[in-house]
Amino acid sequence: MTRILGASAVLVAFGVAIAGMVMAIVGTRLRRADIVRGAYTAAYVNFGLLALASLAMVWALVTHDFSVSYVAQVGSRSTPLFYTIISLWGALEGSILFWGLVLAGFTAVAVWRGTRGTHGAAHADIERLMPYATAILLGIGAFFYLLLVMPANPFRAVFPVPADGPGPNPLLQNHILMGIHPPLLYLGYVGMSVPFAFAMGALLAGVKGGAWIQLTRRWTTAAWMFLTAAIIAGMWWSYEVLGWGGYWAWDPVENASFLPWLTATAFLHSAMVEERRGMLRVWNLSLITATFALTILGTFLTRSGILSSVHAFAEGDIGYWFLGFIAIVLIFSLSLVAGRSDQLRTEGRLDAVASRETAFLFNNLLFSVFTFTVLLGTLFPLVAEAVRGVKVSVGEPFFNSMTLPLCMALLFLMGVGPALPWRVAPRDIVRRELAVPAVLAVLVALAVGLLVGGGVYAIVTFAFGTFALAVNLRQFSTGARARMRAHGEAPPVALARLIGGNRRRYGGYLAHIGAIMVAVAVGASSAYKSETEATLRKGETMSLRGHTIRLDELWGRQEPQRFVLGADVTVLRDGKPAGRMDPRLNFYQTSEQPITTPAVRSRASGDLYLNLMAVERDGSTATIRMIVEPLVPWIWAGGLIIVLGALITVTPSRQRARRSLPVAAPVRPPLVPGAAPARPLVIADPDTRGAAP
């Protein structure tokens, strides 16, 4: 019953998506608003259908309905409820279903936001491009619903019905982050479809001017926020589960999530150049298209099993479907850009080498090279196997040696960019803005070089990190101080109003600060990581870099879905107990190799990381790997700050509402949902208002 409900919902969704596409295009060509509205309704109906299908699948999983093929594949009566529910995205078919749900949700929100309320000056433009954008989103949806109907159908019948199933892949049911990382990744990945649809919709509708880019930029920022959070959460998961004490290995699947992030980050910067100066139109369209195509390519790499990877979890024969879809996307968008070149003529031109524009151009150059390098390293094994018939992989040293200089340059640019004004940067302004940060950077470089060491890259990372941090913090302090002088505001109020008055700008700087934290923490944890391994008897100790641990006890415990083997370890400081840790090994029935649960003791200065490598069968000894990694917690904190910055940027400005309601007013009227004036979807150039005088 559940099976038939789910399968029919998906099938109907496919039909509705096709019908909605046709209605959107035919309706707008015939100038029949009633037909176009039918397409918008189709978008809402599809969300309902996909929600129904997903609920049906969750119900089937929770009730252990093994007559449903997907449940028979990933379900198990012994799996805890939480992991049973999240196995919705644990394997190929379920993940495509989840993708379809997220896409239908984004489509509905995009249609809702694009067709409700007034959008100020851009209203007419948005009204014209919405039907096309809706058609494109429904078209992308149709592709995924077709996958669900044909090669990736999760609702196939299984007969005879098995009594129990194997359960999800052990790696996916060993940590709570598996409930967070995949949905974030899908929100980021699928979210990139919306800016793509708006960009292509604007081209199809013949909308000139910059209205679409503001709309696109906001959606890209939202998707980028989720993607950033997903990548950081994925790194954290890798660190907490895989037991090698690292968080990034340039694994093809990691690269697949990173590639669209790189192009989207480039777009977020170059879009500002188009908004301000009318430059880089074709380039921005290319970045949006590349971002979307890379999300599909990433799914292809992950889901086709074409590249061997630690976490190519779901494999299937649907590789060709994705390849075909990428080809269609590229041909469609490239021919559209070429055919509408008159619409894309550049208005502005570069005035001076020392200007904000130039900084953005270099930013884009670096991000493009970065993308190209990672893409080449990721796809090279495919080419080598096809052309030379050898099975190879591209080693980590390639990625590290190629991308480290790029990261350094980007870190430096994050410091220079915000200090440079648009158009022309007079020398005295540059000097005033950069002098203090530069001096600080030199001091930090000397201090690190003389006192700590650690190689050129580590020193440069700290120096550039200090430089960029100082420049970005300075933006906040000068702006807030100006407000304090002008309005007599207290420092926290001035800071809050500064940010609130220009969310995009200061959200961006905050994201920079987070990125700098991540960069410095990654640099330090790689440069100063040290590890050792020892086999201990109970009561014996091992030490590394001032940390000492003692093995106290070994234990085993049978749990419903796994057998857990653990070591009780005491952390000693000056010979006295200072804490306890318990690294574990988890044996799942379906895995030959146990899944590790390393123990991590986090302090602001860094982590002590213990991984249980092996236990003697009689319980006499245990082999433990001990790793000391400085600053690792700052990676996660920095990621959180990036996300916070992006969140500030995408949150609609309350500038207008606040003018009549001063924050300092003693009584603030309660905010009634729906009572607020319709928020403008497109914000007028924010750099001109609320900025520091």
Partner 1 sequence: MSKRGRRVGMAIAAAAILGTFAYLVYGGIGENLVYFLTPEELMARGDRAYDVPVRLGGQVVPGSVVWNAQAVDLRFAITDGAKTVPVHSSGAPPQMFRDGIGVVVEGRYHRAGVFESTSVMVKHSNEYRAPKHGEKPAEMYRSLTTGSEE
Binding site for partner 1 (CB under 8 A): 166, 169, 349-353, 358, 361, 365, 369, 372-373, 376-377, 380, 384, 390-398, 401-402, 533-535, 554-559, 563, 565, 585, 587, 589-594, 613-615, 617-619, 621, 623, 625
Residues 184, 233: Cα–Cα separation, whole Å? 9
Both structure tokens of 398: 């390639």
- Classify residue 404 by burial, with Cβ atoms within 10 Å: 0-12, 13-18, 19+: middle
In terms of residues, how long is the chain?
693
Q: For the CB of residue 587, give the shortest distance to partner 1 in the complex, in Å.
A: 4
Cα 354 to Cα 117, 349, 368, 431, 589: the distances in Å are 41, 14, 21, 12, 62
**Burial status of residue 333 (CB atoms within 10 A of its CB: 0-12, 13-18, 19 or more):** buried
Nearer to partner 1, 51 or 406 (CB): 406
Nearer of residues 73 and 472 to partner 1, judged by Cβ: 73
User: In the complex, what is the shortest distance from the CB of residue 553 to partner 1, in angstroms, rounded to a whole number?
Assistant: 9
Which residues does residue 531 pair with via DSSP β-bridges, in sequence order?
627
Q: Map tokens 């008055």 to a residue.
A: 501
247 vs 462, which CB is nearer to partner 1? Answer: 247
Spatial contact of 313 and 90, defined as CB atoms under 8 Å apart: yes
Which DSSP string do the residues of 304-358 spell out, in sequence order? H--S--TT-----STHHHHHHHHHHHHHHHHHHHHHTGGGG--------SSSHHH
**Distance in Å, CB of 381 to partner 1, minimum:** 9
- DSSP category for residue 154: T
Structure tokens at 617: 């069968």
Cα 173 from chain centre? 22
Alpha carbons 387 and 576: distance in angstroms, whole number: 61
Of the pair 174, 653, the CB lying nearest partner 1 is at 174
Tokens of 68: 């449903």
User: How many CB atoms lie under 10 A from the CB of residue 118?
Assistant: 11
Contact 582, 566 (CB under 8 A): yes
Quote the least distance from Cβ 22 to partner 1, whole Å. Answer: 42
Q: Tell me how far, at minimum, the Cβ of 377 lies from partner 1, in Å.
A: 7
DSSP letter, residue 677: P
In this complex, which beta carbon is closest to partner 1, that of residue 353 or of residue 442? 353
Please identify, using beta-carbon distances, which residue of 396 and 687 lies nearer to partner 1.
396
* 393 vs 570, beta carbon nearer partner 1: 393
| Tokens read off for 381 | 């094994």
In the complex, the smallest distance separating the C-beta of residue 608 from partner 1, rounded to whole angstroms, is 19
In order of 197, 251, 458, 463, 603, the CA distances from 520 in angstroms are 36, 22, 8, 9, 16
If we measure between CA atoms, which residue out of 509, 552, 521, 523 comes closest to residue 631? Answer: 521
Could you tell me if 190 and 224 are in contact, meaning their C-beta atoms sit under 8 angstroms apart? no
Closer residue to partner 1 (CB): 570 or 621: 621
- List residues bridging with 621 in a β-sheet: 537
Which lies closer to partner 1 via its Cβ, residue 404 or residue 473? 404
CB closer to partner 1, 353 vs 490: 353
Nearer to partner 1, 54 or 238 (CB): 238
DSSP three-state, residue 640: helix
Dihedral of alpha carbons 198, 200, 201, 206, sign: positive
Question: Kindly report the CA angle at 120 between 114 and 123, in degrees rounded to 5?
Answer: 45
To partner 1, the closest distance from the beta carbon of 363 in angstroms equals 12
For the CB of residue 166, give the shortest distance to partner 1 in the complex, in Å: 4
CB of 153 to partner 1, least distance (A): 21
Q: 351 is written with which tokens?
A: 């005035």
DSSP, collapsed to helix, strand or coil, labels residue 538 as: coil
With tokens 């020193």, the residue in question is 459
Closer CB to partner 1, residue 531 or residue 687? Answer: 531
Give the SS3 label for residue 573.
strand
CB nearer to partner 1: pick between 184 and 622: 622
**Residue among 239 and 313 whose Cβ is closer to partner 1:** 313
CB of 639 to partner 1, least distance (A): 27
Residue from 245, 243, 226, 244 nearest 181 by CA: 226
CA-closest candidate to residue 516, choices 370, 418, 430, 650: 418
CB of 119 to partner 1, least distance (A): 36
Q: How far is the CB of 304 from partner 1 (least distance, A)?
A: 16
- 533 vs 685 by CB, closer to partner 1: 533
The 3 state secondary structure assigned to 89-123 is HCCHHHHHHHHHHHHHHHHHHHHHHHHCCCCHHHH
Distances (CA, A) of 655 to 180, 431, 476: 33, 33, 18
Beta carbon of residue 393, minimum distance to partner 1 (angstroms, whole number) = 5
Reported as type and span, the H/E element at residue 632 is helix 632-650
Residue type, 161: V
Q: To the nearest whole angstrom, how small is the minimum distance from the Cβ of residue 399 to partner 1? A: 8
Indicate the residue among 324 and 556 with the shorter CB distance to partner 1. 556
Task: Please state the closest distance from residue 328 (CB atom) to partner 1, in A.
Answer: 29
Start-end of H helices in 116-161: 123-149
Taking the complex as a whole, the smallest distance from the CB of residue 447 to partner 1 amounts, in Å, to 31
